[in-house]
Amino acid sequence: MLEVARIVGGRALRGTVQAAGAKNAALPLLAASLLTSEEVTLRNVPDLSDVRFMAEILRHQGASVANPKPGTWVIRAESIVHRTPYDLVRKMRASVCLLGALVGRLHQAEMAIPGGCVIGPRPIDLHLKGLEALGCAVSVEGGVVSVDARRARGGSVFMGGPMGSTVLGTANLVMAATLTPGETRIECAAREPEVVDLCALLLRMGADIRGHGTETITVRGVASLRGADHAVIPDRIEAGTYLVAGAITGGDVTVAGAEADHLGAFLDKLREAGVGVETGPGFVRAYGRPSRAVDLVTEPYPGFPTDLQAQFLALQLFVDGKSHITEKVYPARFMHAAELQRMGADIAMDGATAVVVGGKPLSGAPVMASDLRASAALILAALAAKGETWVQRLYHLDRGYERFEERLRALGAEIERLPASAMPKGFAED
Ligand code: EPZ
């Protein structure tokens, strides 16, 4: 059933929200459980549609997957198949991170190549370059990539592309290399906390990995990996989204369980914009509206995360002045701009830069979510806009935010989730 969010803006959000586990760590961690025939237990896994979908794919591969209690998943991949069909991969680009696990465990894999999505093309050329550097035979036929790793012996590879490092490309290569004989050296490796978390699980499983978290990762292949028990790191993107909710409404929000060290560039930008920021062991707090328009460029970690770009752009709408927001990771990731313009936002696109003139009054309107982070940005803008906003296609939001409207309501927001039929006549998409 299609659902919408109805938001009435104007209330300052105050209070504390508990950070959930990181979606972008949980997905590769689930894939990594295929690297062993022993039991892998993952804790603090967020309750998201993407996680449930990844669990379905693991079952399709032949693993037994249990969810004995909220947040805990137990996977046992005793015997698995090496093929992953298109109708699964096309529903979630991130399922590409199964490739490295299948190559590592079975020394062969066949997977449909994920297409693009609304934030732009999602190529995997760097993933395949990395696997070839291991000594794999890689071929692409009819939209399916086949990898034969029976003669793979490790190798060195530079994994940087036109936009810099690749998160899931690094994850795939590390996973494949853990069970590939010889040494593999990955230059221009992704340094995201989610990649570091994956390496933490692999080390617990008996992998030999050095340099994770830096731009050069070295993996020495081992004969097999054992089971492990691992808790997922907190979600820095979700935490950043709640901090913006506090700042955009001129409130005061603390995210308990958030890791300030994972949010360096983002917190630095909040401070530069004049938002109050306080951090401590196990919490991050943002309070007070922004007072300065600031420019922003998204980059691979430790730069400003592209996954918080839409949320920060929404914040800039409520401060006088002009800001330039440039995407150097996904140049087309501005689907939220057109919807925000419906609310009165003054945003002009100049290539991969959004020129935002903030300080103009925003008023509620019916808008359409297009992707995960854009839908969060629309809700954030609606919290501070005048009047009533209806956000359609909430399924985008549910991919990456657990009970988002419930937790915003607990902070004082006037927001509710309704069936799409509740929308006023003429608002609903036909
Ligand atoms: C991960 O996607 C995240 N997803 C994305 O989060 C995030 O936006 C992205 O990293 C960047 O931080 C998960 O972790 C599940 P990339 P990933 O490979 O790994 C280009 C969200 O909202 N590229 O680091 O697929 C690519 O086109 C999602 O939670 C190549 O050119 O992203 C992009 O411009 C959205 N060739 C850039 O690199 C390749 O082979 C970064 O992509 C691979 C990528």
Considering just the CA atoms, what is the radius of gyration of the chain in Å? Answer: 22
CA-closest candidate to residue 166, choices 119, 128, 208: 128
CA dihedral 383, 386, 390, 392 (to 10 degrees): -60
Q: Which residues have a catalytic role annotated? A: 117
Q: Which atom of ligand 1 is nearest to the CA of 129?
A: 40
Cβ–ligand 1 distance for 133 under 6 Å, the answer: no
> In 90-166, which residue ranges form alpha helices assigned H by DSSP?
98-106, 125-134
How many H helices and E strands in the chain?
14, 24
CATH code at 23-231: 3.65.10.10
CA of 168 to the centre of ligand 1 (A): 7
- How far, in Å, are 113, 363, 421 from residue 418 at the CA level? 36, 20, 8
- Name residue, tokens 């008996």: 206
The answer to whether 232 touches 45, Cβ cutoff 8 Å, is yes
Q: Which of 49, 168, 196, 198 to mutate to test the pocket of ligand 1 (most atoms within 8 A of CB)?
A: 168
Q: Which amino acid is at 399?
A: R
What string of DSSP letters covers 22-91? Answer: PHHHHHHHHHHGGG-SSEEEEES----HHHHHHHHHHHHHT-EEEEEETTEEEEE-SS--SEE-HHHHTT
Cα separation of 215 and 345, whole Å?
A: 39
Cβ–ligand 1 distance for 160 under 6 Å, the answer: no
Nearest CA to ligand 1 atom 24: 166
Cβ–ligand 1 distance for 370 under 6 Å, the answer: no
Q: Which atom of ligand 1 is nearest to the CA of 126?
A: 40
Domain assignments of the chain as residue spans, ordered by start: 3-20+234-422, 23-231
CA-closest candidate to residue 354, choices 410, 307, 297, 275: 297
Q: Which atom of ligand 1 is nearest to the CA of 120?
A: 27
The answer to whether 95 touches 101, Cβ cutoff 8 Å, is no
Q: Which atom of ligand 1 is nearest to the CA of 119?
A: 35
- 111: β partners: 84, 145
What strand order describes the sheet that includes 64-69?
Answer: 64-69, 72-76, 39-43, 228-231
Nearest CA to ligand 1 atom 27: 122
CATH code at 3-20+234-422: 3.65.10.10
Q: Can 3-20+234-422 and 23-231 be said to share one CATH topology? A: yes
Three-class SS string for 380-394? Answer: HHHHHCECEEEEECC
Q: Residue 6, SS3?
A: strand
Cα separation of 427 and 403, whole Å?
A: 24
Reading the chain (430 residues) residue by residue, the pLDDT tens digits are 889 999 999 999 999 999 999 999 999 999 999 999 999 999 999 999 999 999 999 999 999 999 999 999 999 999 999 999 888 888 888 999 999 999 999 999 999 887 667 777 778 999 999 999 999 999 999 889 999 999 999 999 999 999 999 999 999 999 999 999 999 999 999 999 999 999 999 999 999 999 999 999 999 999 999 999 999 999 999 999 999 999 999 999 999 999 999 999 999 999 999 999 999 999 999 999 999 999 999 999 999 999 999 999 999 999 999 999 999 999 999 999 999 999 999 999 999 999 999 999 999 999 999 989 999 999 999 999 999 999 999 999 999 999 999 999 999 999 999 999 999 887 766 5
Cβ–ligand 1 distance for 330 under 6 Å, the answer: yes
Cβ–ligand 1 distance for 113 under 6 Å, the answer: no
- How far, in Å, are 7, 335, 379, 384 from residue 392 at the CA level? 11, 14, 10, 18
CA-closest candidate to residue 28, choices 262, 181, 158, 197: 197
CA of 426 to the centre of ligand 1 (A): 37
Nearest CA to ligand 1 atom 43: 124
